[in-house]
Amino acid sequence: MTQPLRIGIAGLGTVGTGVVKIVRQKANLLAARAGRPIQIVAVSARSRNKDRGVSLGGYGWEDDPVALATREDVDVFVELMGGADGPAKAATEAALAAGKDVVTANKAMLAIHGQDLAERAETAGHVIRFEAAVAGGIPVVKALTEGLAGNEVTRVMGVMNGTCNYILTRMEEAGLPYEDVFEEARQLGYLEADPNLDVGGIDAGHKLALLAAIAYGTQVNFDAVELEGIQQISIEDIRTAANMGFRIKLLGVAQMTGRGLEQRMSPCLVPADSPLGQLQGGTNMVVLEGDAVGQIVLRGAGAGEGPTASAVMSDVIEIARGTRLTTFGQPAHGLEIARPARASAPAPYYLRMRLIDKPGAMAKVATVLGDAGISIDRMRQTRHDDTTAPVVIVTHKTARDALDSALRYLPGTGVVQGEAVAIRIEDV
């Protein structure tokens, strides 16, 4: 009889419980597809007695995930605890040292320590698989490492945080301000314990850094990702964008340029009739562009018990089949350190500012933009009050450096109240 693949699961939250359910409920299907039985031998979590809605009977229990990772009867250590450091990192390192393969959904750990962990694994002849760490149930890691391996990737782009997409689409649909929808998302349990991981773009930035490393054969470098969250997006921005034929998305973009590797996660205006513009609710979408294949679009659930557990099991099954791939699609020791680059391709920008109501105010703003080499495509003023006027400007294509220079000089005009909001209009 073919020997079963024996797994140990550390972390029995939503995803870990989902993995247990799949293994228990679909044992025959998994065995048929993997070519051998897949068996859970032991688990580890913070609480042993918590009711998780699934039986843990017959599994060994370890209070310490490191002890689970080093058990002799575990072939694959499945890390679903989360966190860049702490128990997750310690247990993963222990598993590799003990001769185990690792499957993880931990984007933060890999975005920060991925290079070191990949080198450890590959030096020891083991694998780290992480399909579940990026875009939930969407098989984007496999698409890049396998399906598109014959392509030179020209751009990776996507909406990779369902919570942010929910907030932005809910603002548009219900006509509600950001603060109200943020609170609604919190009450629904959509936000991380630290909400800034979601709305600040950090969670999505981790995912982008991992995809960029695979796409361009570089060492993962989360510190080089330009991050801007959605906290400054107002309901006026949502409405104005819609009137112009756009929607606002927290969009990740990675591309290799002559200056280096550009990685940015920021709000962007995208055409409302584009695939990204039509993406609603908590769904994720990743767009991959290659020189041979052109553009492909992957869409699906970016989080949740079923989709993420499905991604975990896809990696487990690949290991059971005997598939041995390097962590980032190329040998870790050969990955280059990419030179970080800011957005270099010119693009039009949406600018929102509040001008003090006095003669010549708009002329002063136009002068600052003109001095930076930025021309105005169109302008709109709305809801004038006694002292100030909200103004929206859409520029012609300009470099981000030129725009930043203009934004630095605007406060010195004495006619701009508060801080101007600038949003790139992305060509998708």
pLDDT in tens, 17-61: 999 999 999 999 999 999 999 999 999 999 888 888 888 988 999
CA distance 235 to 420: 15
Strands 246-257 and 260-271: antiparallel
Classify 129 as helix, strand or coil: strand
CATH 3.30.360.10 positions along the chain are 140-299
> Considering the domain 140-299 in this protein, what is its CATH number?
3.30.360.10
Flag whether pLDDT at 384 surpasses 70.
no
* Set 89, 100, 107, 207: catalytic member: 207
What does the mean pLDDT of the chain come to? 93
| Residue 380 vs residues 73, 352, 353, 389, 390: alpha-carbon distances, Å | 67, 10, 11, 10, 8
pLDDT tens for residues 91-150?
A: 999 999 999 999 999 999 999 999 999 999 999 999 999 999 998 899 999 999 999 999
> Once rounded to an integer, what is the mean pLDDT over residues 340-367?
89
Choose the CATH number for 349-425 among 3.30.70.260, 3.90.550.10, 1.10.10.10, 3.40.30.10. Answer: 3.30.70.260
pLDDT of residue 292 exceeding 60, the answer is yes
User: pLDDT-derived band of residue 360, with 50, 70 and 90 as boundaries?
Assistant: confident
pLDDT of residue 192: 85
Q: Which of 218-227, 269-278, 307-316, 412-421 has the lowest mean pLDDT?
A: 412-421
Q: Is 207 assigned a catalytic role? A: yes
- pLDDT at residue 1 tops 60: no
Phi, then psi, of 271 in degrees rounded to 5? -55, 135
User: Which stretches of 160-304 are DSSP H helices?
Assistant: 162-174, 178-187, 196-199, 202-216, 235-243
pLDDT at position 385: 67
Name the segment(s) of the chain with CATH classification 3.40.50.720: 5-138+325-333
- Could you tell me if 170 and 184 are in contact, meaning their C-beta atoms sit under 8 angstroms apart? yes
What average pLDDT does this structure show over 266-275? Answer: 96
- 417 token code pair: 């109240």
pLDDT confidence of residue 383: 66
Assigned CATH for 5-138+325-333? 3.40.50.720
Q: What is the pLDDT of residue 299?
A: 95
Nearest Cα to 128, choosing from 316, 308, 303, 335? 316
Neighbours of 55 (CB within 10 A): 10
**Distance (Å, rounded) from C-alpha 43 to C-alpha 62?**
6
Which candidate, 401, 396, 345, 405, places its Cα nearest to that of 374?
396
Helix (H) or strand (E) holding 116: helix 107-123
Q: List the Cα angle 258/262/266 in 5-degree steps.
A: 150
Q: What average pLDDT does the segment 154-172 reach?
A: 95
